[in-house]
Amino acid sequence: MKLGSDGRRRIALYGGAAIFASLALWGVPALVSRLATPLSIRRMDLEADAAMETEAVKLLVEYVRIDTTNPPGITRPAIDFLARVLACEGIPATITGADPERPILVARIKGRREDGALALLNHADVVPAGDLGAWTKPPFAAARGTGLDRDHLFGRGTLDMKGQTIANLLAMASLTRAGLVPLRDIVFVVESGEETFREDLGMGWLFDHRPDLLAGVTDVFNEGGVNEVKTQRVERFGIETMEKAVLSVDVLAPEAKTLEEFREFLKAKDEEQSVRVVPAVREFLRFIAPSRSDVWGRYMMDGAEKLVPQAEFWKFVPEVYRSLLKDSIYVGKVERTAEGFSLRVVRTLLPGSPVASARTELEGWAHVRGLGFRSILETRDCVSSPTEGNAYRAIANVFGLDPESAPVGPYILSGQYTSAAAIRARGLRVYGVSPFAVNIYDALTIHHTNERISLPFFVEGIDRMRRVLLEFATAP
């Protein structure tokens, strides 16, 4: 049958409509799926189920269950545990130190050259658990959470820093399992007194009494890295390169009124401290401010020298920036004691401000007022580590190529203290590194109740640390 022109037009019209409809049904979704930004929805609970069967989590569980609360800080069982795991990997370990109950572990993978060696620094001790009744799970049970916390492992030390120790240990093991001889030596160190600031139970003792165990070490990876996380993604990888020096004292008096007056005097002295931007702080601000779209940080990058504490703008500067731009004096509340009253005073100091001078000055202010003085913590002077060298490049390169695609840069701690400060004072480059994605809610559990780590993030961090060490081991 022949079709007239009208029939041909109808077939063309309806046939075209049918073809378009089929394209809309099948082709458009495919096109949209290619053009649209993929939305990643993770089942963290199911990932955590799988993580529980991994070697890394099994080791972490066993390690966290060893109570190394400091004080008293009996770490010998934990050190022996780590030594056994290293021995199974064919990595011999030396257990040394002045206190057999709080020893220091040192293990070394020999490379093709000793100079330029990297130390992976860890500490076995943990802070006290506090109120046991406030914990969702017992602090040394290493138990999984329930409900919305099902993807987490609870336990003292999961974040600070037994989880990172397992990551460092398995990164070392990955090299020996692959039969890979690194270009430079890699040294694994575990301290026993970091939480009570005891240099004589860690690297400080090794420098003074067993320097042979640290021969060739120029760089150190320590805790202290800050990875800023939103929801399930890392927004920024922060490599800690400096922490302000800390002087902490209690000022004592028989009467509260005298301390209240001294407190106001110190607050005025803090306002008088001049603003100065040291090179490490400027580098940190150049990294952090643009990626945060941060108006304060952007202004600080080039305009901080124009500020004075008395300026109107200074009143609105967040403390996180104030603390980086000047030496600071923090005063607590006047507290009643058995002998009278006390006032906690903390000074944090930038490079170029000696701790001894700050202590002498503070002690003089107290002495002329007839006040007592008790030292709590006095760290080494502040020194920054340069963003250069094989160790720093290894972290930056691996984090820069991470699937998270987050910016990488230097980070500064203004109110925290780790072993890094004392080691930098001895001339080594020290970098605070965290291989894990830790959100703000989990980070707040460090040194508090319900310390926990996300199991999927933990497993990812294990692999991330393996890649960092492989990069260091093979880079020319």
At 332-389, the pLDDT tens digits run 999 999 989 999 999 999 999 999 999 999 999 999 999 999 999 999 999 999 999 9
Q: Mean per-residue pLDDT for 178-204?
A: 97
Q: How confident is the model at residue 82 (pLDDT cuts 50, 70, 90)?
A: very high
pLDDT of amino acid 318: 77
Phi first, then psi: give them for residue 296, nearest 5 degrees: -65, -50
Q: Looking at residue 304, what DSSP letter applies? A: G
Average model confidence (pLDDT) for the chain? 89
Closest by Cα among 227, 246, 237 to 415: 246
Q: Which phi and psi angles does 418 have, rounded to 5°? A: -130, 180
Tokens of 99: 């206190």
Same domain, 99 and 195: yes
CATH of residue 302's domain is 3.30.70.360
For residue range 295-321, list pLDDT tens digits in order: 666 666 666 656 666 666 677 777 777
| Nearest to 404, CA basis, from 238, 213, 232 | 232
In a domain, 450, yes or no: yes
- Asked if residue 12 is part of any domain, the answer here is no
Domain that includes residue 192, residue range: 45-244+383-474
Long-range contact pairs involving 142-146 (C-beta distance under 8 Å, separation at least 24): 142/60, 142/61, 142/62, 142/64, 142/65, 144/48, 144/52, 144/455, 145/452
Could you tell me the CA-to-CA distances from 19 to 6, 407, 429 in Å, in that order?
20, 46, 67
Average confidence (pLDDT) over 214-223 = 98
> 428 pLDDT exceeds 80?
yes
Contacts of 88 (CB under 8 A, 6+ apart): none
Q: Is residue 18 part of a domain?
A: no
- According to the model, what pLDDT value does residue 417 have? 82
**Terminal CA-CA length for the chain:** 80
What is the predicted pLDDT for the residue at 296?
A: 67
pLDDT above 50 for 32: no
Of 378, 395, 411, which closes a domain? 378
* Mean pLDDT of all residues in 264-287: 91
Domain count of the chain? 2
Kindly state the average pLDDT of the residues 7-15.
36
Residues 6+ apart with CB under 8 A from 329: 266, 267, 269, 270, 273, 345, 346, 347
Least-confidence region, from 105-114, 139-148, 275-284, 453-462: 275-284
Report percent pLDDT > 90 for the chain: 78
